[in-house]
Amino acid sequence: MKSHASLSWATPYRLLLTTGTMLIFGLGLVLLLNSRPILAAPPCGTPKGGPCPTATPGSDPTPTPEQPTATPVSTATPAPTATPGSGSYVLVWSDEFNGTGIDLGNWTFDIGWGQNGWGNAELQYYTDRPQNARVENGMLVIEARKERFRAQEYTSARLKTQGLRDWTYGRFEARIKVPYGQGIWPAFWTLGNNIETVGWPQSGELDIMEHIGREPSTVYGTVHGPGYSGAEGVGGSYTLSGGQQLTDAFHIFAVEWEPTEINWYIDNTLYATVTPDDVPGEWVFDHPFFIIMNVAVGGYWPGYPDETTVFPQFMYVDYVRVYQK
Ligand SMILES: [Ca+2]
C-alpha cells in the first residue's frame, strides 16, 4: 500500500517517458531494418556482389528434339456406356489396347504391298513387325516409316479383325490421333466378311474415318458398293473450324450403321447420313463386316510424299469399341 501511494504522482509521467522512448527506438529499428535491402546486395557480377546465378542444370534453352518414338500416355477416356444417337446401344466388344501387346485374338495383319488388289498404287510394304505396329502406353501405335523393305520405300501396318470378329449393324467407334503430312493416308474402316466369295465392291465397304494429309482439317466418311466404288463412293466430310488440324488432338470417329441408314460422327457431331436411296446401286450393308485400321503412304487419292513429309508418322488408337442394340 505504501509504494502504491508513493508512485501515485510520478507514474503517469514515467509511463509517458518510457512509452515515448520505446516508440522512438522502435521506429528507428523499423527504419533500420527496412533500409537493409537497399544497403546490401550490390549487383551480382561485381566484386562485392558475388557470382551471378547460373542456369539450373537441365534447363538448357536449346529445344529438345521431339522424340519420334514417344507415345502419348493414354488419358482417361469416357466409360464405354452412354453414346449419342440412339441411347439403346450397349457395348458388345472393344479393344482398349491396355495390355502389353497386340491381342491376336482380335487382330490379324495384311502383309505385303497390295499385290493382291488392295494397293491403290500405294508405296508402303505392310508388315507385322513391332516397328510398324505395337501396343504402348495404353494405345495401338501404327508407325509409317521411310525405309527400303522388299522393294518398297516405306513400311507401315494394316490390322484387321477379319476371320476373328465381325458384326452386322451397330455403332463402331475409335479414339484416334491421326498422323499428318502430304501423301499420308490413315483409315479406320470396314469390309464385308464375304469379300473372298463375292469380291469387292459387292462385299460392301464402310469407311468410318479416312484422312489425307493434303487436307489436314478434314475427315471423310464413305460407303462403297457395286456402282459406287472407288472415287464414286457416297458419304460426306467434316472440316474442323479455325484452321485446327485433325492431327492436333485425339478425336472420336464413329459410325452408327442401321438397316436403313448409316450416320457418321466426329466427336459426337453428326456430319453425314446415307440411306439406301442415296446410293446408285445395290445396298450391300446387311451382312457382317470386319474392322480394318491402317496408315497408307501414297496412292491415287492422297498423292505422294514430298520434301515436306516427315517420317516416321504415327497413328495412335486409344480404343476401338462396337455397340449394338
Ligand atoms: Ca487405351
- Ligand 1 centroid distance, CA of 141 (Å): 11
Best CA proximity match to 162, nearest among 187, 133, 194: 194
Query: Ligand 1 centre from 57 Cα, in Å?
Result: 35
pLDDT score of 292: 98
Q: What is the per-residue pLDDT across 178-229, written as a single tens digit (0 to 9) for each?
A: 999 999 999 999 999 999 999 999 999 999 999 999 999 999 999 999 999 9
* Cα–Cα dist 286/304, whole Å: 35
Please give the pLDDT value at position 77: 59
pLDDT at 63: 39
| pLDDT confidence of residue 312 | 98
Ligand 1: distance of its center to the CA of 309 in Å?
28
Question: What's the confidence (pLDDT) of residue 118?
Answer: 62
CA-closest candidate to residue 94, choices 301, 319, 315, 325: 319
Question: Which pLDDT score is estimated for 71?
Answer: 76
The pLDDT assigned to 4 comes to 39
Ligand 1 centroid, distance to 167 Cα (angstroms): 21
Q: What is the pLDDT of residue 8?
A: 42
Task: Give the strand pairing for 152-156 and 158-160.
Answer: unpaired
Long-range (24+ apart) CB contacts under 8 A made by 244-248 are: 244/217, 245/180, 245/216, 245/217, 246/178, 246/180, 246/211, 246/216, 246/217, 246/218, 246/219, 247/177, 247/178, 247/179, 247/180, 247/216
Question: How confident is the model at residue 45, as a pLDDT?
Answer: 38
What is the average per-residue pLDDT within 302-316? 98
Is the C-alpha dihedral spanning 134, 138, 139, 145 positive or negative?
negative
Q: Residue 59 Cα, ligand 1 centroid: separation in angstroms?
A: 33
pLDDT in tens, 54-97: 333 333 334 334 444 567 876 655 555 445 555 699 999 999 99
Q: What is the mean pLDDT of residues 24-37?
A: 38
Q: Cα(first)–Cα(last) distance of the chain, in Å?
A: 100
From the CB of residue 107, how many other CB atoms can be counted at a distance below 10 Å? Answer: 22
Digit-coded pLDDT (tens) for 231-288: 999 999 999 999 999 999 999 999 999 999 999 999 999 999 999 999 999 999 999 9
Q: What pTM value is reported for the model?
A: 0.77
Position 6 pLDDT exceeds 80: no
- Cell 457416297 locates to 234
Number of neighbours of residue 113 by Cβ within 10 angstroms: 18
Higher pLDDT, 167 or 81: 167
Positive or negative CA dihedral for 68, 220, 258, 249?
Answer: positive
Three-state secondary structure string covering 22-87: HHHHHHHHHHHHHHHHHHCCCCCCCCCCCCCCCCCCCCCCCCCCCCCCCCCCCCCCCCCCCCCCCC
Q: What is the pLDDT of residue 114?
A: 75
Helices H / strands E in the chain, number of each: 3, 17
274 close to 234: Cβ distance less than 8 angstroms: yes
Taking the centre of ligand 1 as the mean of its atom positions, its distance from the CA of residue 82, in whole angstroms, is 18
CA of 125 to the centre of ligand 1 (A): 26
Distances (CA, A) of 266 to 78, 96, 158, 170, 275: 15, 19, 22, 16, 19
User: What pLDDT is attached to residue 298?
Assistant: 95
Residues annotated as catalytic are 205, 210
pLDDT band at 113 (very low <50, low <70, confident <90, very high): confident
Find the 274 Cα to ligand 1 centroid distance in Å. 30
pLDDT at residue 156 is higher than 80? yes
